[in-house]
Structures are given as structure tokens and as C-alpha cells.
Amino acid sequence: MSAPLLLFLATGSIALGVTVLRNRPKSSAAITAIGSALMAVFALLVMLDDPLVVLGLPIKIYSTWRILGRALVLDGGNRAAIGFLYLTGAFVFGAAWATKASRNLYYIGLLSLGSIAASFMIQPFLFAAVFLEFTVMGAVLILVSPEYPVPRGGMRLLILYTLAMMAILLAGWMLENVGVTSATPELARRATLLLAFGFSVIMAVPPFHLWLPSAAGETNPYSLAFVTVILQSAGLFFLLRFLDNYAWLRAMPELFDGIRLVGTAMVLFGSFLVLAQKSFSKVMAYALLTDFGVMLLSVGAGTPEGYRLALGLSAVRVVSLSVWALGLAWMLDHPRGDRLQLLRGAAHRSPLAATAALVGMMSIAGFPLTAGFPGRWGLLLTLAPLDPIAGWAILLAFLCVGATAIRWAYTLLSEPRLRERKAINFSERLFLGGGIVMCLVLGAFPQLLYPWVVEVAAGMTQLFP
Amino acid sequence: MSWIEELAVIPTLAVALTGGLLILLDNRRLILLTLAWQYLFVAWLVGVTLPIPIAAVKLVAGLMACSIMALTLVKAGWPDQSLKPHSIPSGRVFRGIALLLVLLAAGGLGYSNWISVPGLSTAGVYGSTILLAIGLLHIGLHEEPVRVGAGLLTIMAGFEVVYCAIEPSLAVMALLAAVHLGIALVVSYLLVTGTDEAVEPQVIE
């Protein structure tokens, strides 16, 4: 039996099992979260290609699964990333029941994780683009639901990723078969252009971010958080694998300058637009855009330290964004009730949820003592001497998203629109409180997360010599 | 040279015709029927560079994608049978002019062999360029799921005419066929679940 096949069978079986549990969000959340965690443990700890004895039976789990002439391989280069991915899923699924998210989030979310895992394992890795396309198909089904039926954001996401997939596949063919190197500048230029387009879509670089604000206004915030977290994590890993595999790409001096320029532009774009939003979900979308920009800035540093920080920021986003989205989704009285006027005084009705939303937002902004701060601070110290403009952009992002957080805190704390408190049970209190504590603990003790996350890239020997 | 290669100009012209019809038609039934015919000619274009049985896979996958969308619409009783886009200029004249411009641009690009893929016939270059251009026009003009689906499938078909010539592996064929089916499934889901606009909540003071 091969490990990738086992992983897919387990993912598929759990997803199938969850489809039976209609209208039982707590059970669905528990099963998907536990299943995801178990698969993370399997990916991280399973002994590959060595005989072992289970319940007295000798078995051997192979690292490779060959199908239709291609191979899916679980090895030291990707098992930490797959483990991280499934743990992210476990973390997000665990609290999903409290958010009134569509039931698609559970089983299609799990299948989407399987698809991303396949994108990590496929050899040659260029075909990962096709699996990212499958993930996006799942993402559309998660974003659009009977409660949130407007499909605009989902359709834009599907269109953009389909185009990106084609660009990356063509670029991949050029790289693998035509022999693109630094000695073939014309071909290298073509391949770089295709890759730049593909990764601009995957990294939501404006104007290819358009799906994000559209979806933000029209979908459950927690579902959106899940989709952005998994797509961005997969996209970052894919980008790092490209950089790791192609020396000529790393050797292009203008590449990292270009990535930093794009990152700076994204940060500025997101920072200014976040100030103008009157919907809390759209604030989340533009704050995320600044966060993606900051992540690109750390990749653009072009140093192992920068790549580590990018991975760390990606992991921190899982916690910060989930807590923000959890708080926001819990506060909403209506599927589209995230407008400024509708949330006025919401902190009086749901104090814990409002606190969670604000703490998550402050963490995305990079406030001191929140999970987002250590990564931003580390990046500022690394990047400011190399590129002062990028350093200023990081500070500007902090100021703009921070100012927006203060403005929304004022709104949430102002005179309530409705006076009665929203009922909250013990488990909801536990998840909301736990999320807030986690954001603060990771801010105070970043060493709990960062060293472990860096292991995700252990297999990229060229980037992390 | 087999008759498939000798007569390759026929599918090239045919995809221009079917693509044009996809842009101009407003009836969902006719759009899906045209899309199904388009797959026949796409398979022909693929058949110029690959063996016929493999090209037939494209046809089968495409017909299945069309069937999925058609079955969904049949089950829903063909709602909003006549599509009238409202966010973008929607008249037939406007679409016709846009189509002409795009076809001219595609012809120019095809003439310059912009793809420069070894082993791809001239008909393949023209055919794929026309499909890609018309598909892009389609998704640029419309936001309705069936139309977006038809546009995406047209773009995918154009891409595959090129990609199958350079990466003829079985796994890639299967994956790309799955992408066609996946797009059709997503469009079907959106047809069943999605609406154009959600109800705005009222502020109660």
C-alpha cells in the first residue's frame, strides 16, 4: 500500500462519511477536525519504504503511488508541508460549527485539502497547477451556498485560476522540455512572463485580487477565511518550490526586486483601500491583501531568513484570520449583516465574538503582543536595511490596518442598535476565548510556532542550504 | 498525410463559427448544443497531432461536460431560457462587432505563429488561437454561470489543442478531462444554488 493512496482514501472516506451528517454541524466539525489531525499525524510520522508490524501483521507503506505514468510521492521534501496543511484544516474545521458555515465547508473542504496534498506530492511538481485548479473548484462550492447564493466572487476565482493553471502548465513545459536557462534569455523571458501571470493570480496580486472583495461581500466570513488560508498556503509552497527547483530563476537579479516591488504595491493598495471599507468582511479582504503583500516582501528578500518568515507569516495567518472570521461570523445576525451600520454596538450584544474579531484583526495588522507581531517585526529588521521603501510599506500597512481596527472597535463598542445579548453556550465561549488566547500567546511566545513551521520547507535544499 | 490533416482547415473554420455563435446566441439550449458541436471540431484539431482514439477522449469529456450542464437545466425546467446580460453592453450588434475584432486579432496572432510550439500544425495554431480569443471575449462579456462555463470550456479547449501536442501523456489527458468535467459540475452547482443578487438586510433603528 502506498502512503499517498492511503491519504487520499482516508480523506475521501471521511468526506463521504460527513455527507451523511446533514444538519449536524457539531458532529461534522468534530469528524473533519479529528480526521484532518489524524492525517497530519500520518503524513508526519508514517515510516515509509520500511517494513513494520501493525497488530502482528507485517506491512510496508511505500512512499510512491504510480498512476497513469505519473507518480505521487510522499517524502521528506513534502511531508511536513502536508502535515501543516492537514493541521491547518483541523484547526479551521474544529470551530466551523459555531459560524453557520455551509455544510460544504466540511466535506468539500476536506477534499480540497486532499487536492492540495496531491499538488504537493505530484511529480513532476509542475502539474500541481492542475490540482490547484481542482482545489479552486472545491473553493467555489464552499463560497457559494443557499445562504450566500451570489456566485460572482466564486466565478471570478474559477476564471482566474483556470487561466493561471494554463499559464503555469505552459511555462512548466518550457522549463522542462525546451531547456530554459540563463543562457536562453528570450525563452527565459517568455517563461518568466507566464510564471509571473500565474503566480500573480495565485498570490491575488491586483488586479487579479478581484475575486476576493467580491467573495467577501457575498459569502460566510469563515468559509472565505478557510479558502484564502488554504489557497495562499498552497500558492506560497508552490512558489518556493519553483524557486528551489530552477537555479536560473533564483539567479535573475531583477526577480527579487520585482517581487518586492509587487509586494510593496500590494501593501499600499490594500492599506489605502482597507480604510475606505464599510463592510467588515471587505475590511478582512483588503487587510488580507496587505498581509499577502507583506508575505511577498519576505519572499522578495531572497534570503533563507526571508523565506522562513514568509512561511511563519503564512502559519500565523491561519490563527489570526480564523479567530477574526470566527468572531465576525458569530456576530452576524444576517448573512449580509456585516455592514458598518448593522454591526454598530455589536460588542454589547456579543462581547466575546467582537473581542475575537478585533484581536484577530489586530493580529493581521501586526499589533504588538498579538501573533502577527513577531513575524512583521522580524521582517522589518531583515528588510529595512535592504529595501527601505519596503520597510516603510510594512509600517504603513500596520498603521492603516491598525487605524481601521480602532475605527471598527469604536463602531462595535458604540451605542447598540439592538439591546438584548446574544445567547452563547459553553462550547462557543470556549472556542472564541481559546482563539483570543491563542492569538495572544503566540504573540508573546512566537517560538511555539515559528521553529516548527520552518520545518515545512525542510525539503527545499537549494533555498535552505 | 491522412484526410484528418488534409482537411484540418474545416475544424479551424468551424470553431470560429461555433465560437461566434456562442457569443451571439442568447438561448441556453442552443449555447449548449453549439458547445457540444464545438467539441467535435476541437477533437478533430487534436486528432491532427494525436491518434484518433486519444482525440476522441476530448470529445467524450466535452460531451459529458455539456450533458452535465444540460441535465441540470432540464431538472430545473430550463429557467431564464433566454439570457439577457445586463451589466455590460449586451446588444447583438455590440457583441458582433467585438467578435469581429477578436477574430481579426486571433487571425493576426495565428498568422505570426505566436505560440511557436514544435509539431503543432498551422490549423492547430489558428484553431487554438481562435478558441482562446473567443473564450476570453466570452468571459469578459458575461457573468452568468452557463455563459462563463461555456467561455471557460472554450478557453480550455483552445489550450488543449496546443498542450496535447507538447505533453501527450495519459495522465495529463485524464487530468485535463477532469478539469472540463469539474468546470461543468461547478457551473451546474451555481445554476442550482446561485442567484444574481442577494437580499440586503434592513437597518432597524
What is the interface pTM, i.e. ipTM, of the complex?
0.91
Which residues of chain B have a CB within 8 Å of the CB of A163?
A: 155
CA distance B96 to chain A (A): 23
Percent of chain B at pLDDT above 70?
89
- CA distances to A211, A220, A346, A357 from A148, rounded to whole Å, are 15, 7, 22, 21
Task: Say how many residues make up chain B.
Answer: 205
pLDDT of residue B1: 63
Among candidate residues B49, B64, B18, the one with its CA nearest the CA of residue B177 = B64
Taking an 8 Å cut-off on Cβ atoms, the answer to whether A162 and B178 are in contact is: no
Of B139, B151, B203, the CB nearest to A341: B203
pLDDT confidence of residue A462: 81
pLDDT score recorded for residue B83 = 58
* CA dist., res. A359 & res. A95, Å (int): 17
Residue A276, all three cell numbers: 475606505
**A230 vs B120: which has the higher pLDDT:** A230
pLDDT of residue A134: 95
A365: closest CA of chain B, how far (Å): 29
Report how far residue B53's alpha carbon sits from residue A276's, in angstroms, rounded to the nearest whole number: 57
| Nearest-angstrom CA–CA distance, B169 and A70 | 9
Sign of CA dihedral B121, B125, B128, B130: negative
Answer whether A282's CB lies under 8 Å from A211's CB: no
pLDDT at A294: 94
Does residue A377 form part of some domain? yes
pLDDT of residue B205: 43
- Which residues have C-beta within 8 Å of that of residue B168, sequence separation ≥ 6? B49, B50, B54
Looking at the domain assignment, is residue A349 inside a domain? yes
Q: Do B183 and A154 touch (CB under 8 A)?
A: no
Mean pLDDT of B150-158: 95
Does residue A368 contact residue A443 with C-beta atoms inside 8 Å?
Answer: yes
Q: How far apart are CA A286 and CA A397, in angstroms?
A: 11
The residue count for chain A: 465
Query: What is the rounded distance in angstroms from the CA atom of residue A391 to the CA atom of residue A380?
Result: 6
pLDDT score for B198: 52
The partner residue sitting opposite B201, judged by closest CB among A141, A336, A418, is A336
Looking at residue A457, its pLDDT comes to 73
Phi, psi of A59 (to 5 degrees): -135, 160
Residue A397 lies in a domain: yes
Among residues A222, A218, A195, the alpha carbon closest in space to that of B143 is found at: A218
| The pLDDT value given to residue A321 | 93
Surface of A (155-194) touching B: CB under 8 A: 155, 158-159, 162-163, 165-166, 169-170, 173, 177
CB contact at 8 A, A184 and A211: no
pLDDT band at residue B200 under the 50/70/90 scheme: low
Answer for the pair B166, B125: CB distance below 8 angstroms, yes or no: no
Q: What is the mean pLDDT of residues B162-172?
A: 84
Residues 236-275 of A with CB under 8 A from B: none
Determine the Cα–Cα distance for residues B126 and A287; give it in Å rounded to an integer.
44
Q: Cβ of B194 and A150 within 8 Å?
A: yes
In a domain, A52, yes or no: no
pLDDT per residue, tens digit, chain A (465 aa), is: 899 999 999 999 999 999 887 778 889 999 999 999 999 999 988 888 888 887 788 888 888 998 877 889 998 878 888 998 999 999 999 888 888 888 889 999 999 999 999 999 988 888 889 999 999 999 999 999 888 888 889 999 999 999 999 999 988 888 877 766 666 777 778 888 888 999 999 999 999 999 999 999 888 999 999 999 999 989 998 898 888 888 888 888 788 999 999 999 999 999 999 999 989 999 999 999 999 999 999 999 888 888 989 999 999 999 999 999 999 988 887 777 788 778 888 888 888 999 999 999 999 999 999 999 999 999 999 888 888 999 999 999 999 999 999 999 998 888 776 667 778 888 888 888 999 999 999 888 888 887 777 777 777 878 877
Is 50 exceeded by the pLDDT of residue B89? yes
Q: Cβ of B159 under 8 Å from any chain A Cβ?
A: yes
Does residue A298 fall inside a structural domain?
yes
Taking CA–CA distances from B170, the nearest residue in chain A reads A68
d(CA B172, CA A169) in angstroms, rounded, equals 10
If phi over 0 gives left and psi between -120 and 50 gives alpha, with beta otherwise, what is residue A345?
Answer: left
Nearest CA in chain B to A138: B186
Q: Kind and range of the H or E element at A52?
A: strand A51-54
Instruction: Give whole-number Cα distances, A329 to A207, A257, A326, A365, A437, in Å.
Output: 27, 39, 5, 19, 18
- The verdict on residue A424 lying in a domain is yes
Which pLDDT belongs to residue A53? 81
Q: Which H or E run includes A123?
A: strand A122-123
CA distance linking residue B102 with residue B162, whole number of Å: 19
Q: Is residue A143 part of a domain?
A: no
- Give residue A296's domain range: 253-465
* Closest by Cβ to B171, choosing from A67, A170, A333: A67
**How many domains are contained in chain A?**
1
**pLDDT at position B204, please?**
46
What's the DSSP call for residue A57?
A: E
Does residue A51 sit within a domain? Answer: no
pLDDT at B25 over 80: yes
B202 inside 8 A of chain A by CB:
no
- Side chain identity at residue A106, one-letter code: Y
Interface of A with B in 108-147 (CB under 8 A): 127, 130, 133-134, 137, 140-141, 144-146
As a whole number of angstroms, the distance between CA A142 and CA A139 comes to 5
In sequence order, what DSSP letters do the residues of chain B get, joined into one string?
--HHHHTTHHHHHHHHHHHHHHHH--BHHHHHHHHHHHHHHHHHHHHHHS-HHHHHHHHHHHHHHHHHHHHHHHHTT-TT-B----SS---HHHHHHHHHHHHHHHHHHHHTTTT--TT--HHHHHHHHHHHHHHHHHHHH--SHHHHHHHHHHHHHHHHHHHHHH---HHHHHHHHHHHHHHHHHHHHHHHH--S-PPPPPP--
Q: Is B195 on the interface with A (CB under 8 A)?
A: yes
Q: Which residues 6+ apart lie within 8 Å of B65 measured at CB?
A: B153, B180, B181, B183, B184
Pure H helices in A203-220: 211-218
| Phi, psi of A57, rounded to the nearest 5 degrees | -105, 130
Q: Do β-strands A64-67 and A57-60 pair in parallel, antiparallel, or remain unpaired?
A: unpaired
Identify the burial level of A461 via C-beta atoms within 10 angstroms of its C-beta, where 0-12 means exposed, 13-18 middle and 19 or more buried.
Answer: exposed
SS3 A60: strand
